[in-house]
């Protein structure tokens, strides 16, 4: 079997600049590819809640003329088993590999959301649900955020930066920000990976103990002094994540890491970004959020998803 197209990672992008250009073309002409998806169906499978991703991906599919089906696993369906060879005499009713093979037959593309559980780093970083879809699906698979990545978000972020950059090579800062609960590293991981592939100067800033996975951060500059990191920045991308090293732990809720107008003043007229949902006056102050790109960034989710689906439809 020829290898199926998929979208789970920046490595699945054939040409990043072309994809960005096509996304901006789709943004100007949202119905222009409407015939491409005619008679085709996107199945959206949710293991976790979703607002932006649910609506933007569904709408992106509709703009391409596709039909859609939404499956809320758990509330609508069965408890799934993940262990190969399991004797399923307990609470699980269907093996993930059977469910995926079946769903593949009802859809032309499958998109799946499944968060990290933040209990066992090794388990999460194997990205078992997303990889089960890639392994067992007989149709292309799109990540709607997995345990370790959120590539549709990172693609939308990159489109937004391209639209708003005023320098050829802008300084982009990913800053950790406080949050009352433990969150996955998925958004931060993908943001770093996508920026690494782009013409930007990326700096990551966070308290000690919040280092991202080595295979993600690679040679990217880490600056533990948030103020220093913000100096001269063109884009400030805030996000909370729980610790990778002390896996899933909230090591700090240090309010001094909140993004405020005072800190934004250190930047070079820098623009604030966040993937949403954002806890106001925790991650960043109202003032910062109300003068930011966050809403425009969310709009671009339509076009990152749209181009991903377009590329897949052209290759099936």
Q: Which residues define the annotated binding site? A: 50-53, 78, 113, 145, 150-153, 179, 239, 275-276, 279, 301
Q: Which is nearer to a copy of itself, 55 or 265 (CB)?
A: 55
Known binding-site residues for N(2)-succinyl-L-ornithine equal: 145, 179, 239, 279
Q: Which is nearer to a copy of itself, 188 or 217 (CB)?
A: 188
* Rounded distance between C-alpha atoms, residue 143 and residue 151, angstroms: 7
3-state DSSP call for residue 46? strand
Residue 77 in the binding site for a copy of itself (CB under 8 A): yes
Count the residues of the shown chain that bind a copy of itself, applying the rule CB under 8 A.
60
Q: Are 60 and 309 in contact (CB under 8 A)?
A: yes
3-state DSSP call for residue 92? coil
* Rounded distance between C-alpha atoms, residue 249 and residue 67, angstroms: 41
Known binding-site residues for carbamoyl phosphate equal: 50-53, 78, 113, 150-153, 275-276, 301
Provide the terminal-to-terminal Cα distance of the chain, rounded to the nearest Å.
Answer: 12
Phi-psi region of 127 (alpha: psi -120 to 50; beta: other; left: phi over 0): left
Residue 93 in the binding site for a copy of itself (CB under 8 A): yes
**Binders in 249-308 for a copy of itself, by CB under 8 A:** 276-282, 286, 289, 294-295, 298-299, 302
What's the CA angle centered on 44, arms 39 and 49, to 5 degrees? Answer: 155
Range 287-299 burial, b when 16+ CB lie within 10 A, else e = ebbeebbbeebbe
Residue 135 in the binding site for a copy of itself (CB under 8 A): no
Residue 78 in the binding site for a copy of itself (CB under 8 A): yes
Q: Which is nearer to a copy of itself, 163 or 231 (CB)?
A: 163
- Among 25, 82, 106, 224, interactor with a copy of itself by CB under 8 A: 106
* Rounded distance between C-alpha atoms, residue 118 and residue 130, angstroms: 16
Q: Are 255 and 177 in contact (CB under 8 A)?
A: no
Nearest to 200 by CA among 175, 174, 226: 174
Q: Which is nearer to a copy of itself, 13 or 73 (CB)?
A: 73
Residue 76 in the binding site for a copy of itself (CB under 8 A): yes
Summarize as ranges the residues that interact with a copy of itself (CB under 8 A). 31, 34, 39, 41, 43, 46, 49-52, 54-56, 58-59, 62-63, 67, 69, 71-73, 75-78, 81, 85-90, 92-95, 98-99, 101-103, 105-107, 180, 276-282, 286, 289, 294-295, 298-299, 302
């Amino acid at each position: 079997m020829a290898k199926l197209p998929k979208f789970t990672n920046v490595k699945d992008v054939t040409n990043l600049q072309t994809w960005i250009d096509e996304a901006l073309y789709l943004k100007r002409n949202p119905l222009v590819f409407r015939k491409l998806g005619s008679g085709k169906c996107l199945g959206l499978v949710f293991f976790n809640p979703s607002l932006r991703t649910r609506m933007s991906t569904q709408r992106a599919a509709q703009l391409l003329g596709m039909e859609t089906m939404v499956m809320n696993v758990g509330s609508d369906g069965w408890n799934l088993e993940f262990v190969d060879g399991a004797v399923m005499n307990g609470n699980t009713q269907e093996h993930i590999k059977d469910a995926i093979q079946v769903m593949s037959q009802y859809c032309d593309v499958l998109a799946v959301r499944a968060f990290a559980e933040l209990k066992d780093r090794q388990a999460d970083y194997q990205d078992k649900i997303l990889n089960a879809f890639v392994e067992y699906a007989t149709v292309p698979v799109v990540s709607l955020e997995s345990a370790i990545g959120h590539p549709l978000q990172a693609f939308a972020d990159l489109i937004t930066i391209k639209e708003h950059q005023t320098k050829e090579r802008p300084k982009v800062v990913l800053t950790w920000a406080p949050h009352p609960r433990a969150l996955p590293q998925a958004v931060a991981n993908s943001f770093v990976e996508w920026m690494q592939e782009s013409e930007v100067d990326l700096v990551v800033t966070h308290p000690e103990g919040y280092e991202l996975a080595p295979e993600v951060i690679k040679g990217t500059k880490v600056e533990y002094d948030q103020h220093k990191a913000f100096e001269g920045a063109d884009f400030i991308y805030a996000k909370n994540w729980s610790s990778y090293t002390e896996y899933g732990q909230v090591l700090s809720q240090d309010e001094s890491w909140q993004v405020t107008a005072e800190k934004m003043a250190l930047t070079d007229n820098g623009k604030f970004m966040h993937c949403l949902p954002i806890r106001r006056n925790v991650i960043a102050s109202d003032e910062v959020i109300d003068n930011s790109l966050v809403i425009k960034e969310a709009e671009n989710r339509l076009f990152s998803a749209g181009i991903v689906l377009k590329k897949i439809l052209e290759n099936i």
